[in-house]
Amino acid sequence: MNYQVDETHDPHLASWVASAVGHPDFPIQNLPYAVFHRDGAGPRLGVGIGDYILDLTAVAELELLDTILAAALRAETLNPVFALPAEARRDLRRRLSVLLSDAACRSVLEPHLFPVTDCLLGLPAQIGDYTDFYVGIHHATNVGRLFRPNAPLLPNYKYVPIGYHGRASSIRPSGLPVIRPNGQRKPPNAEPPDFGPSQRLDFELELGIWIAESNGLGNPVPIEGAQRHIGGFCLLNDWSARDIQAWEYQPLGPFLSKNFQSTVSPWVVTPEALAPFWRAQPCRPDGDPRPLPYLWSESDQKQGALGVQLEVLLSSSRMRKERAEPVKLSQTDASNMYWTVAQIITHHASNGCNLNPGDLLGTGTISGPTRETYGSMLEISRGGAEPVGLPTGEQRSFLEDGDEVILRASAQVEGFARIGFGDCRAIVQAAPAL
């Protein structure tokens, strides 16, 4: 299955929602899903259109959709939508595109449009499981060089999409603060370790992948069918305590340095919306091994990489008080992923692991080849040796209390409307007292 450009991507298509025309994130060509609360009421499903969110739970009661689609939209999370067959999810997008572009539908739908600023956006799904991968090869090389100067990439990296199982319970939506974690730390010249607030708190610029259809326990996912299992994408900040990580990560990998919180953007950008922006996977450098047969698909190599641009901005507490604009720390591209999304899903399920609707996968930090494209402070500051200057005269090697980190992403190519992911942001709060 390859995502096809169709009438919903027409750059001339316009919505009767005026703010959607030319909107940098949510024109009618996007139509991202979200879960929202309003006026203290319970969660409802919505779709973003310009500066508004359309209440899909209400639309489900208007008899404008077929029975299967309407039933999925009556839920309090997007899990039933993700569980729909890929063809039904595509049909839902097409139907919403018609409803939001046909002026004859305006009088029926307009009462169910609400300004996004009047709504509270929550987690899009009930997350059963969360796995974080490590497919940004530049990040893996940079971090490996800091921790293992003589062997930055371990021998398995170019054969296996490396990942670890994270903690679903501590994933939070954009806008909620992140609390600095306490933990064991062992500076290089200290003996023994001590315990206290992390001094090397970091962000990680990632994409999140929402799982759609379940493969069922014991049933691998062939790479040619992996795209059916993609429910959508979001931004993901996998906060990391680098000093805790350096002490704990051997021999079993990340633990308390990662699971204190991860932040996701609340909007789910569907793979169908991204159809114009899928592109060929960059060729592997000469000498790199060809993936094993179960991870190889000619069609995936031709249209399995995402042309999504990502950026990280930082605003300190002082900057906000002085009304200074956030500083851009990094700008990179999702095509810097060494493995495709289909390869990630296929490998995850290759042993029969059952992926379920609403599961979340992280790509791992997506860095580019140069400092201005690095996706973490660990890389940008070169392990703390080269701090970043802020317009207030402050410097940052790692994150301080009061810092706000903002992730953004967009996709644009000539001949199509630009679409965006919305913000993924959080402010660092002090660690709890010991």
Q: Answer whether 279's CB lies under 8 Å from 305's CB.
A: yes
Report the candidate in 357, 337, 425 with the shortest Cα–Cα distance to residue 133.
337
- Secondary structure in 3-state letters for the chain: CCCCCCHHHCCCCCCCCHHHCCCCCCCCCCCCEEEEECCCCCCEEEEEECCEEEEHHHHCCCCCCCHHHHHHHCCCCCHHHHHCCHHHHHHHHHHHHHHHHCHHHHHHHHHHEEEHHHCEECCCCCCCCEEEECCEHHHHHHHHHHHCCCCCCCCCCCCCCCEEECCHHHEEECCCCEECCEEEECCCCCCCCEEEECCCEECCEEEEEEECCCCCCCCCCCHHHHHHHEEEEEEEECCEEHHHHHHHCCCCCCCCCCCCCEEECCCEECCCCCHHHEECCCCCCCCCCCCCHHHCCHHHHHHCEECCEEEEEEECHHHHHCCCCCEEEEEEEHHHECCCHHHHHHHHHCCCCCCCCCCEEECCCCCCCCHHHCCCHHHHCCCCCCCEECCCCCEECCCCCCCEEEEEEEECCCCCCCEECCCEEEEEECCCCC
The response to whether 245 counts as a known ligand-binding position is yes
Active site residues: 139
The response to whether 365 counts as a known ligand-binding position is yes
The response to whether 248 counts as a known ligand-binding position is no
The response to whether 55 counts as a known ligand-binding position is no
The response to whether 359 counts as a known ligand-binding position is no
The response to whether 132 counts as a known ligand-binding position is yes
Tokens matching residue 301: 């190599």
The response to whether 323 counts as a known ligand-binding position is no
The response to whether 206 counts as a known ligand-binding position is yes
Residue 352 CA neighbour count, 13 Å, CB half: 2
Tokens matching residue 102: 């046909």
Strand partners, 305: 279
| Binding-site entries for substrate | 134, 148, 245, 249, 365
| Binding-site entries for Mg(2+) | 238, 258, 262
| Binding-site entries for Ca(2+) | 132, 204, 206, 238
